[in-house]
Structure 1
Amino acid sequence: MSNDKIFTIIKEKNKKEIIHMLETNGKIKTLSFFAEVLNKRTYFTLSSDGIIKRNELNFILPIFAFSNDFDYLADSIINFSDLKEREKISNISRLSNIKIPKLKEKLIKTLCNGNLDFSKKYGKELFLRDREEFYKIILEFSFLGDMKSLKALLILSFKKLFENKEYEENVFFLLICFITKYRDNFYFYENCQHSNIISLEKLKENILSNKELSESREGLEIFSTLKALEMYNFKNFDKFLSKIVDEIRMMKNLTALDETTKKLTAAFL
Structure 2
Amino acid sequence: MTDTLSLNGLNKKEIVSKLTNFYKENENSRNILLKNMIHTTNKRAFFTIDENCNIKRKNGNFILASTLFIDEDEKFLEYLANNIDLSDQDKYNENSIKRMSNEKVDILEKNSIKLVINGKLEFGIKYLYELYKRDEERFFKFLSKIALMDNLDFNKSLYVYSLKKYFEKYGYSLEVFYYVISYIIKVRFDLYEYENIQISKNITKEQLKNRFFNNVAKYRNLEGLKLLSYLKLLLEYDFENEEKYINILKNRMDKLEERNSLKDLDNITEEIFDKLIK
Write out the 4+ residue segments of structure 1 that deviate beyond 6 Å after TM superposition. Answer: none
* Aligned CA distance change for structure 1 residues 3 and 194 (closer, same or farther; 3 Å): farther
Give per-residue Cα distances to partners, 1:165-184, cap 9 Å, x unaligned. Answer: 33221111101000111122
In the alignment, residue 102 of structure 1 is paired with which amino acid?
I
Equivalence for 1:219: 224
Equivalence for 2:23: 22
Q: Mean Cα displacement is larger for which, 189-198 or 119-128?
A: 189-198
Q: Mean Cα displacement is larger for which, 160-169 or 74-83?
A: 160-169
Counterparts of 2:32 and 2:70 in 1: how far apart (Å)?
15
Give per-residue Cα distances to partners, 1:158-200, cap 9 Å, x unaligned. Answer: 1111115332211111010001111222111111121243222
Equivalence for 2:38: 35
Find out whether 1:129 has 2:134 as its counterpart: yes
TM-score, normalised to structure 2, is 0.87
Q: Mean Cα displacement is larger for which, 89-98 or 181-190?
A: 89-98
Give per-residue Cα distances to partners, 1:92-122, cap 9 Å, x unaligned. Answer: 4122232222212222121111110011111
Counterparts of 2:141 and 2:101 in 1: how far apart (Å)?
20
Q: How many residues align?
A: 269
Once the two structures are TM-superposed, the CA of residue 258 in structure 1 deviates from its matched residue by: 1.6
Residue correspondence of structure 1 range 1-269 to structure 2 within 5 A: 2=2, 5-8=5-8, 11=11, 13-23=14-24, 24=26, 26-91=29-94, 92-93=96-97, 94-163=99-168, 165-210=170-215, 213-251=218-256, 252=259, 254-269=262-277
Counterparts of 1:2 and 1:215 in 2: how far apart (Å)?
39
Once the two structures are TM-superposed, the CA of residue 4 in structure 1 deviates from its matched residue by: 8.0
Counterparts of 1:122 and 1:57 in 2: how far apart (Å)?
23
In the alignment, residue 243 of structure 2 is paired with which amino acid?
D
RMSD: 2.3
What are structure 1's unaligned runs of at least 5 residues?
none
What are structure 2's unaligned runs of at least 5 residues?
none
Identity of aligned residues (%): 29
Counterparts of 1:101 and 1:45 in 2: how far apart (Å)?
32
